A and B are shown apart, each in its own frame.
Chain A
């Protein structure tokens, strides 16, 4: 009873509620600006939390994180520019919906699926943290290797019109991801002695260039892109539509939770896995990529499902799963708390007060999101001749802001041209992105596995988790290829 009292004293302070509200609002706005990611917002907010109480400080950062996850989808849906990497998958169906005048529907679907996934993810954190953390620890390089193999099979389902074209761009993405220092020996690969390429190709400039710039180029080169004006960009989401996507949302959330609990995989992969799973199961499979609400729901529930779950390895093991949780770990340390088993022993009331706040943050996200959708929808009303120069400005700024590097602006423009070439030649862009993200993970884990196993290939088959992912990979490949051949036979003259 005394414990409960302490939790409530820690949690029920007006500061905490203000922190969550302000955090989520900042997150949504920053997340929605291309190039300004939730990671940056969390890093910038960190010094302001020094003077706050520990629980309030962490809740502010968690609020920004969650808001940012949703905010990134707004520009993905409205202007084909993912505000954050994790929302790259949302634009596959979100942007076509905007083009059809259904921006409001897409934004609402993104919000509701984000919030539902968030709640489920939080529940997983609160109820199963210690259990999921144990699974995460069993994820060594061989298990990761097969998880990445499984994720690579998704390329087939997001390849667009042609599987062969999809595989070609995915390979290009993998090649681009090889640029920079080799992770095992430190060899410089494909850098042509250019100092700026010695690390790796920066992700944010590539992302912005690939998706936003082709839209801008397309508009000015064709000068005929019709602007769709509908009353507040269409009607809102109906209950029936939400219900129809509910199973995708729940499955996406669970995928997000599992991926989130394993450090080092990330929300982008979760969104794509969830999307491809929903596509495989959907009767409207053919409509995916052309404006399917279920696609938005699956992508957003996948990436938001990660948000609560990344706190599982952080709180229970002290291991940050991504950059944002690494900053939150820093915040814990500044306030004299050490996440990990010791935190649960020594500061249990703080942990439970955080859990209360994290649950509340999902509700706040719903409220804030609801409030801002109205204004965000207006973006879809702005004539493109006015909107696109502003978008371009943000793109340049966003590409620069990540590393304060002018080279990155050039990189963004280069990938803009690449993206445009993909667009006019009918190559899908998403497999390129997936190749770029998964390529290094594939290579790293392949080489790590061989190093750990001292060259013995049997390590790839060392336990139930590896077998489970081998089976999933083979099944996924089998079904994808079967569908591909069936369609070829059907469309053959």
Chain B
């Protein structure tokens, strides 16, 4: 079977390395280090140790009985990534990447963050390994996620406000790349999503795919079969790819990525890249993008800062193109209903990002056969969003 990406990092027409020349040798080093280390038993054991004893893996696959009763056609399982240390799936990837950084002899860590979850996860592992850490975050996101800023600072990281452009995730990523270009010799850039230049989409997929590997086995043990559907929210797409990838060859398992429709896909205020974008190049790879007719990147919007990104990982663009997954969208308002729904039926407050996936269940319930089984990736918990949610619900 042909595996993706190919050796140049292409997923069909997507992916690749669209970066300034200065980064090319570093990407080559990273590719080499990753290829060597992933095969080493000692590295895998070290990673497993931190994932299990530090982050809290494996996470549970929980049968959401009361939620399932709400939908007559669905049997819903939640993959509880929200229970991980730091409150979201992001730690799977940051632990993997910081071990890469350590083995490559890098002394300084940088990262971009939107909601702050990836920033917190990066600051956390930097503290754990005693490495200097600098996080780039859009000024606007810093205001929306003030508590996460404080958490990162408490963990010893420097949070740099990004005031250029839309002051959100894409601009934070621009600034992180500029830092990286300047300090590439001693700095490791921990990218938080399955985006960026090759080999990042591959690396992040590898470290996140533990979600799907566990879920697949857990589901088989419980149900003695594979699920009919997988559902996960998609911003850059790391939790979705993490869940999907282990099921890639299980052709009967249908995959649905849920994007943020913001105030509506037909407005200028959404982040539904795959639902309404077009092919282009941003942040080092070719994928689907939100852009103007002149090829300028549009400003994305979502109530969930972690989905507020005008691009998407190249492998998702590829999955869409070959029809392996489909991509739907859920608005800000609907996501808020999703958050309330899960809170009230199961006593679990999901992150606003994951709430998009939860709400999508109400839509799919109308379209699927009776007794369809579904695994939803509950990528993060809602603590970080309480301020935003309170404001919106009290309105």
**Are A and B subunits of one complex?**
no
Mark A residues whose CB is within 8 Å of B: none
